Amino acid sequence: MTSPNSTKRVLLNSILYIGSGLLLRCFSFFLLPLYTAYLTKEDYGIQSLAGSFASTAIYIVSFSLFSAVMRFYVELQDNPEKLKRFYGTISTSVFISSVVFGILFTVLRDTVSKVFFAGIPYFPIIFVVIVSLIFNCQQRIYDSILRSQQKAKKSSALSVSFFLITSIFTIIFVCIFELGALGVILSSCISHFCYALYFTVQLLKNRQIHYCLDFDLLKKALKYSIPIMPHNLSTNIAMMVSKILIGDVVSLSSLGLYSVANKFGHLADTIQVYVSKAYSPWFYQVMHDNDKDAKKRIRATVQLLTSCIGLFFLVLALFSHDCIVLFINQRYVDAWKFVPFIVFVYAIKTMYYFYVAILFYFKKASQYLFTATLSSSILNVFFTFFMVPVWGVLGSLLADALSMVIRVGIVVIISKRFADVGLRLKDFVFNFSTITLFMVIGLSFSYLKFSHSFNIYNFLFKLMVVFLYIYFVILLKHKERVNLLRNLIASILKRNV
């Protein structure tokens, strides 16, 4: 059995989360031609609005309590009865809150429709979105429980199964019954309901939950989670403002190119999110155990993780050009030019994920988290308003980069007030500079000579750059970790993660 605080454990879980996440992304790309054949542009607009609303509202409705699930598990894992009450309290309170918000949204349906859904009638589309939100909250809680217990294999399997079930329902409702945007939203609602039902049955069957309202536990959880709400909300709001400005000030065609590029570029952040899912509970456990080698192990693990993340970034930045040129309609071929800039922004963000784990661990520190996210997001909106009219999409990306530097800087400064866990700025600066250098070298011919075409020699050149990165940055820098990496695949099969 792999120790819960071992480096191998966090690496195995990272691979599982990344693998399942990338698999889901690939499925999404393969299904895109099918959906576009049956959905009108208006349907896509409604679906997009629904998704943006849900991704923002879930943090308000749940008060970000699923974040508390992961943090409090470390303290309550040795007290099973209290942990059951904690899970039950979080699930019950979030369910009550989501129902109350659902009723409130329904009462204020005209305002909700006008402000968030461009005047789309509340029934049935918006109503289904609200119902889906209730069950979505429960799904997030269960996933947080699995991640806190470092059960990456089960979490990944359920994520894949959820996606497949949603896709099947979507094909039925959209392609067979031709329900348009309502079909997409309805399929998501049914899938969330099935997941929430499974979650309830599993926890009751395994006697892992006691549904109740323990106000003492709820108070402690809210004290931790409410300060995190601005952190979770700010990024979504800033992204929405950027898209609105690009569409209004520049053109809808530019917004289309940006959206296609963002589909590829966002994979960079997806990779970091899944690594963070594996790293955070491992980090909490190491901090909780407080052994003498904790700092050394944390630094070595983070160095290896950032180098591996850099490999994914490099592959994504270099070969998105070939993917878009070969497989996307020629009208969108220029979208690839924005992908490396999006990856560049997320490369800056790498440091943020590891330092922010410190703020999540120390309960008193969590209340300062909104300082970084809210202030940087406000500045992002401010920069976007001035830069987009001048530089278009690149102006939006420049605004993202500047605000991300500010966000990372604030998080690093605040985290250092609470603990030195072994992280070093020079490690992150070296990693970022190396990724940027290899990206510039690898993309030189793509930008200068083959921007609108695929060339086999250019492809092989980029492949050589990737292998050089693997050799110089991963193999030479982490010699002591090579054997561990060689055994990862075998460990996934043999170990009970």
Q: What is the pLDDT of residue 247?
A: 52
What 8-state DSSP symbol labels residue 495? S
For residues 46, 50, 53, 59, the Cα torsion angle rounded to the nearest 10 degrees is -170
Give the residue among 115, 240, 139, 119 at the shortest CA–CA distance from 189: 139
Percent of all residues in the chain with a pLDDT value above 90, rounded to a whole number: 9
φ, ψ at 285 (rounded to 5°): -65, -45
Residue 493 has pLDDT above 50, yes or no: no
Q: Per-residue pLDDT averaged across 393-420, rounded? A: 86
Q: What is the pLDDT of residue 8?
A: 61
Q: What is the pLDDT of residue 17?
A: 64
Q: What is the pLDDT of residue 136?
A: 87
Q: Per-residue pLDDT averaged across 366-393, rounded? A: 78
Q: How many CB atoms lie within 10 A of CB 417?
A: 11
Higher pLDDT, 70 or 246: 70
At 496, the pLDDT band (50, 70, 90 cuts) reads very low
Question: Which range in 221-235, 266-280, 432-446 is most confidently predicted, on average pLDDT?
Answer: 432-446
Higher pLDDT, 51 or 195: 195
Q: What is the pLDDT of residue 442?
A: 92
Full DSSP string of 53-72 = HHHHHHHHHHTTHHHHHHHH
Name the pTM for this structure: 0.65
What 8-state DSSP symbol labels residue 78? T
Residue 345 has pLDDT above 80, yes or no: yes
d(CA 419, CA 385): 37
Q: Per-residue pLDDT averaged across 129-151, rounded? A: 83
Residue 227 has pLDDT above 70, yes or no: yes
At 302, the pLDDT band (50, 70, 90 cuts) reads confident
Q: Per-residue pLDDT averaged across 309-333, rounded? A: 83
Q: What is the pLDDT of residue 27?
A: 62
At 96, the pLDDT band (50, 70, 90 cuts) reads very high
At 226, the pLDDT band (50, 70, 90 cuts) reads confident
Q: What is the pLDDT of residue 495?
A: 44
Contacts of 321 (CB under 8 A, 6+ apart): 336, 339, 443, 446, 450, 451
Residue 63 has pLDDT above 60, yes or no: yes
Q: How many CB atoms lie within 10 A of CB 23?
A: 14
Contacts of 284 (CB under 8 A, 6+ apart): 70, 71, 74, 357, 360, 361
Residue 6 has pLDDT above 70, yes or no: no
* Residue written as token pair 């994920």: 353
At 184, the pLDDT band (50, 70, 90 cuts) reads confident
Q: How many CB atoms lie within 10 A of CB 490?
A: 9
Compute the half-sphere exposure of residue 92: CA atoms within 13 Å on the CB side of its CA. Answer: 15
Element (H, E) at 422: none
Compute the half-sphere exposure of residue 170: CA atoms within 13 Å on the CB side of its CA. Answer: 20
At 390, the pLDDT band (50, 70, 90 cuts) reads confident
Q: Are 152 and 9 in contact (CB under 8 A)?
A: no
Higher pLDDT, 261 or 135: 135
Higher pLDDT, 271 or 487: 271
pLDDT digits over 105-125, tens only?
Answer: 888 888 877 767 656 778 888
Q: Give the Å distances, CA to CA, from 81 to 215, 218, 229, 408, 423.
A: 16, 15, 28, 39, 36
At 453, the pLDDT band (50, 70, 90 cuts) reads confident
Q: What is the pLDDT of residue 438?
A: 93
What 8-state DSSP symbol labels residue 122? I
d(CA 353, CA 231): 13
At 1, the pLDDT band (50, 70, 90 cuts) reads very low
Full DSSP string of 79-119 = -HHHHHHHHHHHHHHHHHHHHHHHHHHHHTHHHHHHHHSTT
Q: Per-residue pLDDT averaged across 192-214, rounded? A: 85
Q: Give the Å distances, CA to CA, from 23 to 219, 306, 338.
A: 38, 21, 23
Residue 488 has pLDDT above 50, yes or no: no
Give the residue among 230, 179, 205 at the shortest CA–CA distance from 372: 230
Q: Which runs of consecutive H residues, i.e. helices, occur in 367-424?
A: 369-391, 393-416
Q: What is the pLDDT of residue 45?
A: 57
Q: What is the pLDDT of residue 100?
A: 93
pLDDT digits over 407-438, tens only?
Answer: 888 888 888 888 878 888 888 888 889 899 99
Q: Whole-number mean pLDDT of the chain?
A: 78
d(CA 397, CA 199): 39
